[in-house]
């Protein structure tokens, strides 16, 4: 049993970690939530990619067929490599149903897959990456829906509800401007003395 709390709402629940069992294999709630997230991202990716960005549905589906399983493999690989002490047997590393994914491994695998796909298909990488990164940024800030722990809020309670897209875009724009200004100053100091 796990306790799930929403402190800001004053709600707390006790729930079994296992949603259901199929052929002796326990399906965890966390896995179901990940699958729902992947499906929601897929719908967003396909709708925005075809309607707004003008990509072919074929290219979008092909990249999804590649990125989704490769990202899961990447997330599992990084988790296993950073937790080797948990695995006494080589085959235990393949037991993904026992838990253990590292989101940054999935993101790295997705970016590398996307780079190769775009190079082979002669598609602009940044245009494709733009479709995925927006949802990733918004989805990782706020209160974790499983544990109730703050993620990437840096101690600011105002961020616990997530970030509005307007604030996110303004912040990214400001970072780009400040970064370009700092690069300009550095280049002037290095080359002009």
Higher pLDDT, 124 or 139: 124
**Cβ atoms of 104 and 78 closer than 8 Å:** yes
Residues 47 and 26: their CA atoms lie apart, in Å, by 33
Q: Is 12 helix (H, G, I), strand (E, B) or coil?
A: strand
What pLDDT band is residue 113 in, cutting at 50, 70 and 90? very high
Asked if 142 contacts 162 with a C-beta cutoff of 8 angstroms, the reply is yes
pLDDT digits (tens, 9 = 90+) for 134-186: 656 545 554 454 455 555 555 555 555 555 544 555 555 565 666 666 667 77
pLDDT in tens, 27-54: 877 677 777 777 777 777 788 888 888 8
Q: By the 8 A CB rule, do 124 and 138 touch?
A: no
Residues pairing with 13 in the sheet: 4
Residue 88: DSSP 8-state: S
User: Shortest CA distance to 111 belongs to which of 131, 93, 95, 97?
Assistant: 131
Question: Phi and psi at residue 93, in whole multiples of 5°?
Answer: -65, -25
How much is the pTM? 0.61
Cβ–Cβ < 8 Å for 64, 42: yes
The pairs formed by 157-163 with CB atoms below 8 angstroms and a separation of 24 or more are 160/8, 162/138, 163/137, 163/138
Q: Taking the CB of residue 63, how many other CB atoms lie within 10 A of it?
A: 23
């Amino acid at each position: 049993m796990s306790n799930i709390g929403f402190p800001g709402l004053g709600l707390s629940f006790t729930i079994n970690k296992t949603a259901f069992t199929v052929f002796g294999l326990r399906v965890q709630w966390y896995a179901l939530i990940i699958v729902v997230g992947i499906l929601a991202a897929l719908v967003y990716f396909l709708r925005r990619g075809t309607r707004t960005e003008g990509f072919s549905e074929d290219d979008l589906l092909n990249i999804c067929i590649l990125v989704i399983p490769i990202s899961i493999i990447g997330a599992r690989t990084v988790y296993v490599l950073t937790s080797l002490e948990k695995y006494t047997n080589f085959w235990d590393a393949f037991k993904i149903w026992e838990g253990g994914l590292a989101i940054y491994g999935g993101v790295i695998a997705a970016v590398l897959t996307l780079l190769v796909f775009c190079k082979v298909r002669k598609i602009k990488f940044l245009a494709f990456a733009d479709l995925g990164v927006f949802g990733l940024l918004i989805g990782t800030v706020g209160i974790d829906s499983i544990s109730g722990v703050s993620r990437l809020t840096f101690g600011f309670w105002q961020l616990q509800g997530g970030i509005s897209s307007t604030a996110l875009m303004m912040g990214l724009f400001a970072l780009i401007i400040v970064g370009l200004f700092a690069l300009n100053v550095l280049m002037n100091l290095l080359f002009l003395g």
